[in-house]
Amino acid sequence: MFCKNIEFINYRNIEKENLEFTDGINVIHGENAQGKTNILEGIYIFARGKSFRAFKDRELIRFNCDSAYAKLTYENKSSSNELGVEIHKSGGKKFYRNKIKVNKTSEIIGDFRAVLFCPSHLGIIKDSPSVRRRFLDVAISQLRPIYIKMLAKYNSVLEQRNAILKMEPSVRIQYEGIINHYSDELASLCADIAGMRIDYIKKLDYWVKAFFDEMMKGRETPKITYEANAKENDLESRESLKNKYSRLLKDNLEREYKSGATLYGIHKDDLKIEINGRDARFYSSQGQSRSLALAMKMAEGEISKEYSGEYPVFLFDDVLSELDENRRKYILSKIEKRQVILTSCEPLDFDEIKNVNFIEIKNGKRETYKISNESADTEVFENENGDFENTESDEPDENGEDSLFDGEESDIIIDENDGDEE
């Protein structure tokens, strides 16, 4: 899969811009707070259907404007396509596929696939279970459209069941039959969703072991399994999963009445990550945790390729500056045959890689393109007529330092309403 270009109008700090990308490595660079992450965010919206950092859609609209617009053109192995989005301050956003409006945001998920890797993902190993569940939900949703619908249905049933659990005893007695019905519905959805998660994790475990083994020279062995409310020996079939979740929900109903929330289900499950048989959440070093996180993101790309026959687009937001030299070298050795769009503190980090497309950003505007190759560095400047001119440059530009920086989204990815049990 190849992102050809993206166009913005009144998006974040970008008034109007059209950026073109090569099918290899694209480096977006510039000084602090110039809009580099905004570009990655705009691209990723078409993969997930929502921003990876904005809480509300109106945050994406340029100051003193009423709406924002973005259009992405991409190629897959069979055709060239266009996705567009309009975001209005009055509320909501509209997606378009090849200029035709889609009815629901969820309909475009999976059309354009991308793997996002940013500094916050480096904490996935030691963060809360909800972070690891979200990793699964985002990854699987791009591959299995039915998964999105199941998550939306699960979230709806969970909300209704929790509403009854919060009622006063004198009121909820009339809802006993209904809560049993909701318990059966949740158990069935749990079986389907957990089953897809387990299938995905089996592939994730395989690829993480492969990448981690390369990084660590075979010194340590990771293992990733699904840590469900259902015990491990119950994860063999959909029926056994359904029966287990059903028993948990019905046998613990009194406890849930006291807490006023559903305590069992896929919104409480987790990824169990081990290194040499020890729980990585508690016993991994910072270096081990970062290597595992990197391996998980690379594995996400490989699994996507297994499903579709082509790699997704990789989006790296200032992540190389968070890795040590060995891990930086490793990731750079793995991305040359994939399309990568990344932000970086210094374009000099990529001097040894051929055919890198450098895009300098200043105040939300493209300053220059520069494509490095074997014989010379070719800089591409836009002239006053909007055409492109080539000039030769022997030295790379000096650049400043980089910075690291729900409405309709609820039917895309579950954001758990209930906290994890302590």
pLDDT digits (tens, 9 = 90+) for 94-141: 999 999 999 999 999 999 999 999 988 989 999 999 999 999 999 999
Worst-scoring range by mean pLDDT, 48-57, 118-127, 288-297, 324-333?
Answer: 324-333
The dihedral of CA 316, 322, 327, 333: what is its sign?
positive
Q: Specify the higher pLDDT residue, 380 or 106.
A: 106
Distance of alpha carbon 112 from alpha carbon 377, whole angstroms: 31
- Per-residue confidence (pLDDT) for residue 377, from 0 to 100: 43
Contacts of 77 (CB under 8 A, 6+ apart): 1, 309, 310
Can you tell me the mean pLDDT for 398-407? 27
Q: Which amino acid is at 153?
A: K
Taken in order of first residue, the domains within the chain and their CATH numbers are 2-411 (3.40.50.300)
Q: Is the pLDDT of residue 217 over 90?
A: no
Closest among 274, 291, 292 to 283, alpha carbons compared = 274
pTM for the whole structure? 0.85
Structure tokens at 277: 């048989």
Rounded-to-integer distance, Cα 237 and Cα 105, Å: 32
Alpha helical stretches, state H, 231-315: 238-251, 253-259, 280-283, 286-308
DSSP state of 319: -
